[in-house]
Amino acid sequence: MENLKTYRSWQLIKKGKASEAFEQISQTANPLKEGMLRIRVHAFGLNYADVLSRKGLYNDAPTFPFVPGYEVAGEVIDIGKGLDAYWLGKRVLAFTKFGGYSEVLDSSPQVTVEIPKDYSFAEATALGTQYTTAWCLCREWTKVQAKDKVVILSAAGGVGQALISFLKPLGTELYLGSRSKEKAEALAQEHGAYPLVYSLKRPWYTGMPPEIKADVVFDPIGGASVGKGIKHLAPGGRILSYGVAMRSEKLSFLRDVSMLLGFGLHHPISLLLGSKSLLTLNMLRIAEQRPDLLGSWMQKVVQEASRSDFPKPKVHTFAWKQLPEAHEFLASGKSMGKLAVDCIGV
């Protein structure tokens, strides 16, 4: 079996255009630590947070230079002391707090799972951050019921697609949101749902009459979008806030203040009187503090994805050298589903 002593990584050296912000580096593999798995990465996934990091807008990012990346899929090529030889040669998916844009990654078995047999490595990357986030949101943090009216904003993105896959079989009434009318309509048609076009400038989502109240809103936009979502929840309704995509345009003090004010002030009493709930999720905090929990969700996602009737994630795969192109495509908002980079080849 291949045992890489040196390997390539894509490092983010500064903020700016992807063609200038990234450089390829060669790294020497350190001795493998006790209890760790060494993975020959076949594909790594891109996430929207990577774009925010490149723009210098991601609070959790390390200082430059650093290797971004939250998930890899590949083969276990070595095991640290104390681990079962069972792992050797296994096709796995691993979550990592940065460092994923690499040909080799050392990972804890706690956040490493075997990938479904009929999944390619690139397809498996989608099950990492995006599907696991969606799983936590709709199966762990809240219980979505049949006939619930559910709003999914950024429905064309990776997390959005995963939420649709988990919720559609329950018979929920889905309102699928995008800033683009064309995207929203295409999604609605594909999934037998309602198209919902949203803009922070409008008081409500176009496509959902104001008298209709939502039971669950999944919101990765943040700011006024959350304030708006809370207002339009039905009694018993929940909004899950898990991102601030609206911050991705450019950094400005006024924009940030307006974003923070947009969230609104939601006193527990006013939420209690309306019987509404606001839930949040930050996967990095979970990964740091509760890797056991994260690993258990990854296991459940893989189990669900192994079902023969589960729709495979849509994946757009780029070659290793096309990483800057892939990044700009993700930033453009025109992509659908998961973007992955193939690490075998140039």
Query: Residue 29: how many CA atoms within 13 Å on its side-chain side?
Result: 20
Alpha-helical segments (H) within 150-180: 158-167
Q: Is 47 in the site for ligand NAP (CB under 6 A)?
A: yes
Our CB check for ligand NAP shows the closer of 178 and 277 to be: 178
Does residue number 178 form part of the binding site for ligand NAP (CB under 6 A)?
yes
**Does the footprint of ligand NAP cover residue 282 (CB under 6 A)?**
yes
Report how far Cα 251 is from the mean position of its chain's Cα atoms. Answer: 22
Least gap, CB of 125 to ligand NAP (angstroms):
11
How far is 53 from 61, CA to CA, in rounded Å?
6
**Under rule CB under 6 A, residue 49 binds ligand NAP:** yes
The type of residue at 301 is: V
Q: CB nearer to ligand NAP: give 158 or 237.
A: 158
* Cα–Cα distance for residue pair 140/128, rounded to 1 Å: 16
User: Helix-strand-coil percent breakdown of the chain, rounded to 5?
Assistant: 35, 25, 40
Is residue 249 close enough to count as binding ligand NAP by CB under 6 A? Answer: yes
Residue from 100, 109, 160, 295 touching ligand NAP (CB under 6 A): that is 160
Least distance between ligand NAP and beta carbon 336 (Å)? 7
Q: Among residue numbers 307 through 336, which ones bind ligand NAP (CB under 6 A)?
A: 330, 333
179 is a site residue for ligand NAP (CB under 6 A): yes
Q: Is 234 exposed, middle or buried (0-12, 13-18, 19+ CB in 10 A)?
A: middle
Q: Which stretch binds ligand NAP (CB under 6 A): 94-102, 112-120, 237-245, 309-317?
A: 237-245
The CA distances from residue 50 to 100, 152, 335, in Å, are 11, 22, 15
Q: Is the peptide bond before 65 cis (omega within 30 degrees of 0)?
A: yes
Residue 283 binds ligand NAP, judged by CB under 6 A: yes
Shortest Å, Cβ 200 to ligand NAP: 8
Instruction: Give the number of other CB atoms < 10 A from CB of residue 2.
Output: 7
Contact 282, 70 (CB under 8 A): no
- Residues 211-230 vs ligand NAP: string with x where CB under 6 A? ---------xx---------
The residue among 76 and 294 lying less far from ligand NAP, judged by its C-beta, is: 294
Applying CB under 6 A, the span of 41-49, 140-148, 208-216, 312-320 interacting with ligand NAP comes to 41-49
Binding string to ligand NAP for residues 139 to 158, with x set by CB under 6 A, is what?
---------------x-xxx
Between CA 78 and CA 245 the distance in angstroms is: 38
Sign of CA dihedral 145, 146, 150, 155: positive
- Rg of the chain taking only CA atoms, in angstroms: 20
Q: Which member of 245, 315, 323, 340 binds ligand NAP (CB under 6 A)?
A: 245
Report the amino acid identity of residue 80.
G
- Segment contacting ligand NAP by CB under 6 A, of 23-31, 82-90, 173-181, 255-263: 173-181
Binding residues (CB under 6 A) for ligand NAP: these are 47-49, 129-130, 133, 154, 156-160, 178-180, 183, 220-221, 242-243, 245-246, 248-249, 281-283, 330, 333
